[in-house]
Amino acid sequence: MLASGSCAPLLSGKLGRSGGPQGWHHSSGVSGPHTSSMSRHRILALLAALTIPFAAWAGPREDIEETLTAAVVQIQSHYVDAVSTRQVTLAGLRSLAPLLQPAALQLAIRTQEKAKGVTPQVRVLTDTLMRVPDSEREAALKAALRGMLAGLDTHSRLVAPAEFKPPPASVGLELQMTQGRLTVVRALPGGPAEQAGLRGGDVIVAVDETLTDGMRLAEAVTLLRGEVGTPVILKVQRIGESTTLKMTLVRAPLPAPPSVSWEREGGIAVIRIAAFNQRTAADFSAALNAAADQVSVPLQGLVLDLRGNAGGLLNVAEQVGGLLLPSGTLIGSLRGRSAQNARRLVARGGEIVPGLRMSVLVDGRTGAGAELVAGALQDHGRALLIGERTAGAGTVQTVLPLPREEGGLLLTSARMVRATGAGVEEDGVVPDVVHAAGTRQLVVRDDLLAGFDKALAWRIQAAVAQAGAEADVVRVAAMAAMRRD
């Protein structure tokens, strides 16, 4: 709690630097043939729900071998780190343990360890799959592919065919995994979840009797998807309730929520970007111009709210950053093994509000492309960052298709690097003024303490001290920072 009349809590603290001034294209951040950003500790998902059946993959031996070869080559060519094709195919073999006799599995593993080159290695795995009964071969092939990906990282996964299509319905939830539990961030306005009474903090423990504990967020999303008008039964634990709640939701089509919203408070524009999609750059530019055109009070400052923005389209994040930095300024870069995933991200649009005071709000759900934008504005001294350490979701995923419309692979293909050369992954971005979540305490980052503007610190502290009990203290601090002396 900030003590009224004392500057000490704001001007003290032992917070160090963030890891250093550290397709779809989804930045975690997706690049490649199909391109959109998902987070690493937790990915916020706007659920648009449909059942995702896998195609009948259990075709002739040649089809299975072709699918496995495509998967191995994609991993070998596009994964962010160099990987051994032998290790990849061995991982696929070991995932078949529940379906094979131990002696047969060990023989296949010994044969695989001696095989050299992609074709011989894939043939060993194909031979092993062909020993599985016909009725189980489809499941075995999916298990092998999942096994090949499981050893890479927590983001790389198998993509079902239906995921390539726009989902027709949604239950209208924004979710995250919190300590392995499927947790509601918020129910989207007007959606089935809001109508059913779901709210932030609720934990969904089961979907149609399937337990969600420890499940990947993407798998939980799959369970919640379905056709328009179909019911889904959720079991929900709620703080303060002694029994588990049972709710039946009816899936409905929902328009994508707008990613940009704005308001003016005196001479300060507050613009929130919830995600980076195809419209975000144009909508952000329009919002800022509209705010500047209100002539009753000249525009004095901009508060850019990136809290809860888990990422999205990386090229759009680059465009937004380019609207806030001088043309030619380095926003960051990608480090991967292909030309598409090893490139510099540079401001090209030209700064539309040069010299305007700016503060950026971030929290533990700010991820991927949003982290890169916030980090660039901090690295170039363009904005004061206020809030919590960001997610550290500094990787980019690429969706690569498999043959015969059998779905695809979501592979981590690059790592994001800030303009300073520091990585985003793991360390995230540490704000200049850090908010301790769940409190009213704000502290200046320790390495900035000596040179921090004490008048600014006093102004922020006084504003927070005077704010009501339910006030958004991070926003209050940002507004105080934007007001002129």
Residue that is last in its domain, among 220, 250, 280: 250
Residue 3 lies in a domain: no
* 270 and 226 in a common domain: no
* 476 and 368 in a common domain: yes
* 321 and 245 in a common domain: no
User: Looking at residue 225, what is its pLDDT?
Assistant: 86
Residue 219 lies in a domain: yes
For 208, other C-beta atoms within 10 Å of its C-beta total 12
Write out the E strands in 380-453.
384-387, 395-401, 408-418, 433-435, 442-444
* 326: nearest Cα among 305, 306, 303, 346: 346
Query: Do 183 and 176 meet the contact criterion of CB atoms below 8 Å apart?
Result: yes
* 450 and 422 in a common domain: yes
Residue 28 lies in a domain: no
What CA–CA distance (Å, rounded) separates 244 from 435?
Answer: 33
Q: Domain total for the chain?
A: 3
Q: What is the CATH number of the domain that holds 245?
A: 2.30.42.10
* 194 and 124 in a common domain: no
Residue that is last in its domain, among 229, 250, 271: 250
Residue that is last in its domain, among 224, 250, 276: 250
What CA–CA distance (Å, rounded) separates 447 from 204?
Answer: 41
The rounded Cα 77 to chain-centroid distance in angstroms is: 24
Residue 457 lies in a domain: yes
Residue 35 lies in a domain: no
Report the relative pairing of strands 231-237 and 210-211 from DSSP bridges.
unpaired
Token pair 């660039």 is found at 376
**C-alpha dihedral sign at 78, 400, 341, 311:** negative
* 295 and 389 in a common domain: yes
What single-letter DSSP state applies at residue 353? S
Most distant CA pair in the chain: distance in Å?
81
* 419: nearest Cα among 345, 364, 320: 345
Q: How far is CA 435 from CA 10, 34, 471, in A?
A: 10, 37, 14
* 291 and 147 in a common domain: no
Residue 424 lies in a domain: yes
* 364 and 317 in a common domain: yes
Q: What is the CATH number of the domain that holds 381?
A: 3.90.226.10
Secondary structure of 58-76 in HEC code, one letter for each residue: CCCHHHHHHHHHHHHHHHH
Q: From first to last of its 485 residues, what are the pLDDT tens digits of the chain?
A: 232 233 333 443 333 333 332 234 444 443 333 434 433 333 333 333 333 344 444 458 999 999 999 999 999 999 999 999 999 999 999 999 999 999 999 999 999 999 999 999 999 999 999 999 988 999 999 999 999 999 899 889 999 887 777 666 879 898 888 889 999 988 988 889 999 999 999 999 999 999 999 888 888 988 898 888 999 999 999 999 999 999 999 999 876 667 999 999 889 999 999 999 988 999 999 999 888 887 677 888 999 999 999 999 999 999 999 999 999 999 999 999 988 889 999 999 788 888 899 999 999 999 999 999 999 999 999 999 999 999 999 999 999 999 988 899 999 999 999 999 999 997 899 999 999 878 888 999 999 989 999 999 999 999 999 988 889 999 999 999 998 65
Residue 77 lies in a domain: yes
* 353 and 333 in a common domain: yes
What CA–CA distance (Å, rounded) separates 207 from 212?
Answer: 7
* 285 and 226 in a common domain: no
Give Cβ neighbours of residue 111 (< 8 Å, ≥ 6 apart): 124
* 312: nearest Cα among 41, 116, 44: 44
What CA–CA distance (Å, rounded) separates 230 from 252?
Answer: 8
* 173 and 201 in a common domain: yes
Residue 183 domain boundaries: 169-250
Give the long-range contacts of residues 140-143, CB within 8 A, separation 24 or more: 140/96, 140/99, 141/57, 141/58, 141/64, 141/67, 141/68, 142/54, 142/57, 143/95, 143/96, 143/98, 143/99
What CA–CA distance (Å, rounded) separates 258 from 280?
Answer: 8
Q: Which amino acid is at 349?
A: G
What CA–CA distance (Å, rounded) separates 137 from 125?
Answer: 12
Q: Which amino acid is at 105?
A: L
* 266 and 242 in a common domain: no
Residue 24 lies in a domain: no
pTM: 0.73
User: Looking at residue 338, what is its pLDDT?
Assistant: 85
